[in-house]
Structures are given as structure tokens and as C-alpha cells.
Amino acid sequence: MTISAAVQPLRGDELLPSRQARLACRSGMASSTAGVASGFVQGNLAILPEKLAASFHRFCQLNPKPCPIIGMSDVGDPRIPSLGLDLDIRTDVPRYRVWRDGEVVEEPTDIMAHWRDDLVAFVLGCSFSFEEALMAEGLPIRHIERNVRVPMYRTNIACNPSG
């Protein structure tokens, strides 16, 4: 899951690619955002109840390379103005994963029905943000070329615990 940052119109009705991407998500786009909104940062989204948010925030601070925070909401607020003035975290992601008891139970295109007043949204840095630079240097990005899910890897490098 990714979202794009920045939203101001360029001039008239011409929109930045980041805002176009968010509006597409609001309209039901459910595909990967790899290669979308070139020139803008993208992020992964984690939404937690307030009672867990402080521990998660501390975990990210202790592990800034795998979990770089690029935006965070206030408790119960689905907006993160620093990432986009019209950003709504409940609708502006192409697909969400809803987890209960360690299992994915739903993958909706919006989370309006799941949003609560005690939730905190964290946007973490995403590899999609630097793919454009790699492609500009002539390095092929296979998952974009083949329109498949980005490769993911497991590591044996431990994170620093928190909470």
C-alpha cells in the first residue's frame, strides 16, 4: 500500500501527479502505485489504535532505516496535512489490508467503515520513491516493466525492539 505526497494544483485545473493518483484511488483504482506520481515521495501505511501508537512510533525512531516516518496523523484524524492538504488516509490508498488477530480479514479499497476516533496513521518511506531515479539512470525496474508486485525480501538483520 502506498500513498503519494503533495497536492497543490499547478495552475487552473492542471493537477500534480500526486493529487491525480489520490483522486484515482478515491475513484476505485486498486492497482499498484509503482511508477505512479513520478517525482513525489510514496509511502507505506500503518494504522494503529492510540494505545499502541506510542510504542510503534518509538520502534520507528529506533529503526529509522527500515521504518522511516514521513508522516503521522493526530489521533482520530484521517488527514496528514504535511503530505497533502486534501489527503484522506481512509480513501487515498489503492488497497488496504485489514488485520485482526494476526490475519488479513479484508482488502477493501477504502476504510471508511473501519475508521475510529482512536486511530493513528503512520506513513513510512517506500522503495517506490527512488525507482524513478534508478530508471533515469537506465536501470530497469522489472516489477514495473512486468506489472507485477514489487519483490520483497526477508532479512536476518534484527530491528531494535520497543514497547
N residues, the chain: 163
Q: What is the CATH number of the domain that holds 27?
A: 3.40.1640.10
Residue 111 lies in a domain: yes
Per-residue pLDDT, 145: 81
Q: What is the pLDDT of residues 11-33, one digit of tens each?
A: 444 456 677 777 776 777 666 66
Residue 153 lies in a domain: no
State the residue range of the domain holding 54.
3-145
Per-residue pLDDT, 4: 38
Residue 161 lies in a domain: no
Residue 158 lies in a domain: no
Per-residue pLDDT, 36: 63
Please list, residue by residue across 4-23, b when 16 or more beta carbons sit within 10 angstroms of its beta carbon and e when fewer do.
bbbbeeeeeeebbebbebbe
Residue 82 lies in a domain: yes
Residue 163 lies in a domain: no
Per-residue pLDDT, 25: 66
Residue 157 lies in a domain: no
pTM across the whole model: 0.76
Looking at the 3D structure of the chain, how many domains does it have? 1
Per-residue pLDDT, 99: 92
Cell of 126: 517506500
All residue ranges of the chain with pLDDT < 70 are 1-17, 25, 29-40, 128-130
Residue 159 lies in a domain: no
